[in-house]
Structure 1
């Protein structure tokens, strides 16, 4: 890989923060689903999602991250989309789910109205981001860029989700919502 950040983000040790099994259980996907991976980076989680759904949109604004993902030879069901979270190139109601895995603080919060609009009614949004209560801040952004569970949930509710699960974890916080019908 050409980019140190991409190499670090693609390392299997990243599953420490969210395992493939956890992600699958949170999504509870079906084979015909279309899922957006918001801030997909080098595709570690994108490729995990692709094993269970019909189509994954790997959305990232970084050409270097998309290049690193291509080097990993992603499944044919993965479609790379170079875009910002706030300008998703999808029709309203066209996504079955979207995931924001440690990217909420990278503009996903501000883009929530459009992201939720892109979900079909009942579509699932999984947000896992760095905890404000983490014992140290070696991983992830500085404390002032983090959101707590209540802040993530409030933003999702304001954007049109009903919250189905919250969990404060050691280093990350999880909020799962569904687009209100």
Structure 2
């Protein structure tokens, strides 16, 4: 797979509300299945589009992005009071063991999907903590998102989570995206 990050010069695209056609706030919050005092991280948060949508439903939200430029753009947009910006690679998160109740990633799994990253997610999630992944599917058209050869199918993503010690109750292919819910 050819891993890359999203070009900060194109970050305005990340604020387009048409993104909800791929994953709505309600779908994301429903699959996270957390309570109001939960500690949750958005992996590959970018400008905070989905972070801002989930933040009102949790106690503490971490907006994790590997690119300081994206964190700065998020800061300029305004960050909710319960959101903390964290500049980090998913493979080396600055959280204690069992610190997070859930994590989610919207359209960024293909950027960090490695055995080391998934092992790190397993380490930082509480027992029963959820990872909710919505990303471009390798079985889609390729009209939007990264090139097809940089994507995973739902079954392949589910197998990667299972290999990292997760149970995977949900692995779905959709027209352009996949949905995987993995439980630590």
TM-score (norm 1): 0.93
Question: After alignment, is 167-176 or 107-116 more displaced?
Answer: 107-116
- 2:4 maps to none
1:125 pairs with one of 131, 134, 155: 131
- 1:57 maps to 62
Paired residue total: 176
Q: Quick check: 1:75 aligned with 2:80?
A: yes
Q: Is the 8 A contact 1:100 1:108 kept in 2?
A: no
Partners of 1:5 and 1:27 lie apart in 2 by 28
* Moved beyond 4 Å, runs of 4+: none
- 1:103 maps to 108
Partners of 1:139 and 1:49 lie apart in 2 by 24
* Aligned counterparts, 1:1-181, within 5 A: 3-110=8-115, 111-134=117-140, 136-179=141-184
Partners of 2:36 and 2:172 lie apart in 1 by 27
Shift of 1:4: 3.5
Q: Is the 8 A contact 1:57 1:78 kept in 2?
A: yes
* TM-align CA RMSD: 1.1
Partners of 1:8 and 1:153 lie apart in 2 by 28
Partners of 2:14 and 2:92 lie apart in 1 by 23
Unaligned 5+ residue runs, structure 1? none
Unaligned 5+ residue runs, structure 2? 1-7
TM-score (norm 2): 0.92
Partners of 2:145 and 2:167 lie apart in 1 by 27
Q: Is the 8 A contact 1:38 1:100 kept in 2?
A: yes
